[in-house]
């Protein structure tokens, strides 16, 4: 992360414990039962500054423990504030803004788990769009101590007078880079205008593009900067717990290759233990349904997971996959961030991600919490230029394998004709959303 004036980096100190970082015995005692024996590097860097009331910009790769890095100190501050006031005040003290409903649910679940051992746990609200607003309004009667929200639904609730933001003391923007990627900047500005100026602001992101740097500079006051690279010093796109592979295959034969991998007909060099469950990323919702249907017809327990499904269907599919009732989940980039699937052994890029940065988030669904994982990318002849771009931007040096029986025969297309200097390669040409945004910001002439 480039240094910026006013940002104070905090170096990771080893041999720390949660108690030494300032968490109370009541909060720290239950953490080993939740798999949190020792602080991760981002937790060790973040907890003390948050407890001290400092603004914080934390950047760390997916799976590094960012959620607990801000929830634990904020829970401690809530406990301390409750004692000072002689009771548990029901004003909204902490607002956590996230980009997707899945991440909102996950943060809410983690917050509930972390506070379960407390004698009087906080009141937690989780709100997001795509479902009826009425139950959420009922839930917020009497306010909440912690509110986890997506931006659009939060503004809906404000307009319905179901929540007031004037008393918020702690604001968290989780997955800030994703919030901006998904076009929430206008809604974020509307939310920020409703918040008190005197507050603590925590900004967490996995990447630090220019838009996030600008947001941090405008929001944070004399912030501490916490930064952790993947695997503590290894390349951010190459976590040490993930074995990465790239397989050359014709476009029309990808489903057959995928079926062979997950049915343990075993490609050479593939550990059969990695094939128990697989999360497979595709480019479109239609492809997710099509590939899932083909695999299911072939005897593989596969399901689709994407934004066109109802919230109930998405929640059920994800829960069933986590419980190993589905062997394969075919998903869009909806599942690339904010979803934690314990002990997921295999991630497959059936379609390469459009953005080189999204490659990191996709493969980060495996190899979490120190578990070993495998990430396999299918590279068609037409995708070779884009694959080289992904490798270059993530400093990868992966051989392009050819498996017996799946050697590609499609011709490699000629290099694309450069347009406006971007070469026409995926990840560099503007998307439809990019063009719409450009149209909104383009100057108008009389």
* Helical spans, DSSP H, in 86-205: 101-115, 134-139, 151-159, 176-181, 185-193
For position 153, what pLDDT does the model report? 95
Q: In the structure, what pLDDT confidence band is assigned to residue 109 with cuts at 50, 70 and 90? A: confident
Asked if 401 contacts 246 with a C-beta cutoff of 8 angstroms, the reply is yes
Q: Select the highest-mean-pLDDT range: 2-16, 188-202, 223-237, 334-348.
A: 188-202
How confident is the model over 283-292, as pLDDT tens digits?
999 999 999 9
By the 10 Å C-beta count (0-12 exposed, 13-18 middle, 19+ buried), 439 is classed as exposed
For position 87, what pLDDT does the model report? 43
By the 10 Å C-beta count (0-12 exposed, 13-18 middle, 19+ buried), 399 is classed as exposed
- Pick left, alpha or beta for residue 236 (phi over 0 → left; psi -120 to 50 → alpha; otherwise beta): alpha
- The two tokens of residue 334 are 């909806």
For residue 374, report the phi and psi dihedrals to the nearest 5 degrees.
Answer: -125, 140
- The two tokens of residue 241 are 């717990």
Does 274 or 239 have the greater pLDDT score? 239
Q: Span 82-89, mean pLDDT?
A: 46
Q: What is the DSSP-derived secondary structure letter of residue 242? A: E
For position 439, what pLDDT does the model report? 54
Sign, Cα dihedral of 13, 17, 20, 26: positive
- The two tokens of residue 152 are 């659009």
For position 207, what pLDDT does the model report? 77
Helices 311-322 and 101-115: crossing angle in degrees, nearest 10, is 60
Q: Span 64-78, mean pLDDT?
A: 92
The pTM (predicted TM-score) of the whole model is 0.61
Q: Span 156-165, mean pLDDT?
A: 93
Tell me the pLDDT of the chain averaged across its residues. Answer: 81
Q: In the structure, what pLDDT confidence band is assigned to residue 414 with cuts at 50, 70 and 90? A: confident
Q: Span 89-97, mean pLDDT?
A: 80
For position 419, what pLDDT does the model report? 47
The C-alpha atoms of residue 101 and residue 315 are separated, in whole angstroms, by 10
Return contacts of 31-35, CB within 8 angstroms, 24+ apart: 31/114, 34/113, 34/114, 35/369
How confident is the model over 189-204, as pLDDT tens digits?
999 999 999 999 999 9
How confident is the model over 347-388, as pLDDT tens digits?
999 999 988 878 888 888 888 766 788 999 999 999 999 999
Provide, rounded to the nearest whole percent, the portion of the chain with pLDDT above 70. Answer: 80
Given a cut of 70, is residue 421 above it in pLDDT? Answer: no
Q: In the structure, what pLDDT confidence band is assigned to residue 264 with cuts at 50, 70 and 90? A: low
Q: In the structure, what pLDDT confidence band is assigned to residue 177 with cuts at 50, 70 and 90? A: confident
For position 91, what pLDDT does the model report? 67
Does 215 or 96 have the greater pLDDT score? 96
Contacts with 416 (C-beta within 8 Å, 6 or more apart), sequence order = 385, 423, 424, 425
Number of Cβ within a 10 Å radius of residue 73: 26
Contacts with 269 (C-beta within 8 Å, 6 or more apart), sequence order = 245, 401
Q: Span 332-357, mean pLDDT?
A: 83
């Amino acid at each position: 992360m480039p240094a910026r004036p006013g940002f104070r980096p905090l170096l990771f100190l080893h041999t720390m414990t949660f108690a030494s970082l300032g968490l109370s015995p009541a909060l720290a005692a239950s953490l080993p039962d939740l798999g949190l024996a020792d602080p991760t590097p981002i937790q060790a860097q973040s907890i003390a500054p948050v407890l001290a009331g400092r603004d914080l910009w934390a950047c760390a790769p997916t799976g590094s423990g960012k959620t607990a890095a801000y929830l634990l100190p904020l829970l401690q501050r809530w406990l301390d504030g409750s004692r000072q006031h002689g009771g548990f005040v029901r004003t909204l003290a902490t607002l956590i803004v996230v980009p997707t409903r899945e991440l909102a649910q996950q943060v809410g679940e983690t917050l509930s788990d972390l506070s379960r051992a407390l004698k009087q746990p906080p009141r937690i609200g989780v709100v997001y769009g795509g479902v009826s607003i009425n139950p959420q309004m009922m839930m917020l009667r009497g306010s909440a101590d912690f509110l986890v929200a997506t931006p659009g639904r939060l503004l809906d609730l404000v307009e319905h007078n179901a929540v007031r933001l004037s008393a918020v003391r702690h604001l968290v923007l989780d997955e800030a880079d994703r919030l901006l990627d998904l076009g929430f900047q206008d809604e974020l500005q509307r939310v920020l205008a409703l918040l008190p100026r005197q507050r603590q602001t925590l900004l967490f992101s996995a990447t630090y593009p220019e838009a996030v740097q600008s947001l941090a500079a405008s929001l944070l006051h004399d912030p501490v900067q916490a930064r952790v690279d993947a695997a503590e010093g290894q390349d951010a796109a190459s976590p040490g717990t993930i074995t990465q592979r790239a397989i050359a295959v014709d476009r029309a034969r990808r489903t057959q290759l995928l079926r062979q991998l997950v049915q343990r007909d075993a490609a050479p060099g593939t550990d059969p233990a990695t094939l128990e469950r697989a999360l497979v990323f595709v480019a479109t919702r239609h492809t997710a349904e099509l590939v899932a249907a083909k695999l299911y017809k072939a005897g593989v327990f596969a399901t689709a997971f994407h934004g066109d499904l109802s919230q109930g269907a998405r929640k059920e599919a994800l829960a069933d996959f986590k419980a190993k009732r589905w062997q394969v989940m075919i998903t869009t980039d909806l599942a690339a961030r904010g979803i934690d699937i314990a002990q997921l052994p295999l991630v497959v890029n059936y379609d390469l991600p459009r953005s080189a940065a999204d490659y990191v988030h996709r493969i980060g669904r495996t190899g979490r919490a120190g578990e070993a994982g495998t990430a396999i990318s299918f590279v068609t002849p037409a995708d070779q230029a884009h694959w080289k771009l992904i490798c270059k931007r993530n400093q990868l040096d992966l051989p392009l394998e050819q498996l017996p029986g799946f050697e590609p025969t499609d011709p490699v297309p000629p290099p694309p004709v450069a347009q406006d200097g971007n070469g026409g390669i995926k990840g560099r040409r503007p998307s439809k959303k990019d063009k719409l945004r450009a149209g909104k910001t383009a100057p108008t002439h009389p």
